[in-house]
Amino acid sequence: MKVGFYQFRPFFGKPEQNCKKILSALKDVEADLIVLPELALSGYYFKDKTESLKYAEDLENSTIIDSIISFAEYKNMHIVLGFAEKQGEQCFNSSALIGPNGIEHVYRKVHLFNEEKFCFDPGNKPFVVNDINGVKIGMMICFDWVFPEVTRILALQGAQIICQPSNLVLTFCQQTMLARCIENKVFAITANRYGVDKRPQGSLKFTGKSQIVAPGGKLLHRAVSQRDALFVTEIDPDDANNKMITQHNDILADRRPEFYTLLNNK
Ligand code: ACM
């Protein structure tokens, strides 16, 4: 299976322009699955929810999302796209799994980062795993990395590849995802943006360094920090099926949930 990411610098508030940039970058790409950054169409640093809604896509009525679906169909490719999702007066920081037959799943970011709390509604759907041509895909978004429960719950549902659209401003995630891939023995594709969103309320700089990590924590590739980066590599998703970390330790079967009950109540 050929998987990859496209790291770029979205222009704030220019969804059409950002969509054009994405489709032109992916025009000649041969891949089964490409992961794009978080909020790849709108840019990141909204000042409030009125502004995030203004640049959000309504899945029932979005020519931009429709053009990405047509592209996925034409390329016979799956795309994981981070975008601002409008549903009535609600706005979610979402990630769509788009395939040749349309949208297969939308994940809404559960753990909102910092001022995102003023711009988005928290995700309201469970973590699930989707099957694409026999491969199990799980989605999380950026700051979800701080919560090891997310990767674990996806791994427990059989996820082989974790797709993580990101707009990282802290510097810890890329290293932490190595640990997530050791403790869950999954692949992880982190597609981050770079550049700066300079807004009246301040500036945010994003860290780039998108990466693909293999089960066991092997870094297959990490992009540079502040440049466009399109990367595709061949992986065998079944490498994520072996959960043995020693001859006598299965990282999922050896769990002792009876000792973790506090996690459900705190
Ligand atoms: C983040 O969750 N975008 C830092």
In terms of Cα–Cα distance, which of 187, 165, 204 is closest to 41? 165
Predicted pLDDT of residue 40: 98
Which protein residue has the closest C-alpha to ligand 1 atom 3?
A: 167
Q: How confident is the model at residue 266 (pLDDT cuts 50, 70, 90)?
A: confident
pTM of the complete model: 0.98
State whether the beta carbon of 38 lies less than 6 angstroms from ligand 1: yes
9: closest CA among 172, 167, 223, 222?
167
pLDDT the model gives residue 152: 98
* CA of residue 140 to ligand 1 center, whole Å: 11
Residue 217 CA to residue 53 CA, distance in Å, equals 38
Question: What letters, b where the CB count within 10 A reaches 16 and e where it falls short, cover 63-87?
Answer: ebbeebbebbeebebbbbbbbbbbb
Hunting for tokens 């707009």 — which residue is that? 167
What is the 215 CA–ligand 1 centroid distance (Å)? 24
pLDDT band of residue 265 (cuts 50, 70, 90) is confident
Tell me the C-alpha distance between 216 and 78, whole Å. Answer: 25
Phi, psi of 51 (to 5 degrees): -75, -40
Mean pLDDT, residues 73-92: 98
CA angle 171, 19, 128 (to 5 degrees): 60
Q: 108, 119, 168: which to mutate for ligand 1, most atoms within 8 A of CB?
A: 168
Q: What digits encode the pLDDT tens for the residues 187-245?
A: 999 999 999 999 999 999 999 999 999 999 999 999 999 999 999 999 999 999 999 99
Please, what is the angle between helix 148-156 and helix 173-184, to 10°? 30
Do you know the residue count of the chain? 266
Crossing angle of helices 15-26 and 63-75, in 10° steps, is 0
**Chain mean pLDDT for the chain:** 98
Task: For the domain covering 2-241, report its CATH number.
Answer: 3.60.110.10
- DSSP state for residue 32 in the 8-state scheme: S
pLDDT tens per residue, range 26-76 = 999 999 999 999 999 999 999 999 999 999 999 999 999 999 999 999 999
| Cβ–ligand 1 contact at 169 (below 6 Å) | yes
- What residues are annotated to the active site? 38, 109, 142
| pLDDT beyond 80 at 173 | yes
Which secondary-structure segment (H or E) carries 5? strand 2-7
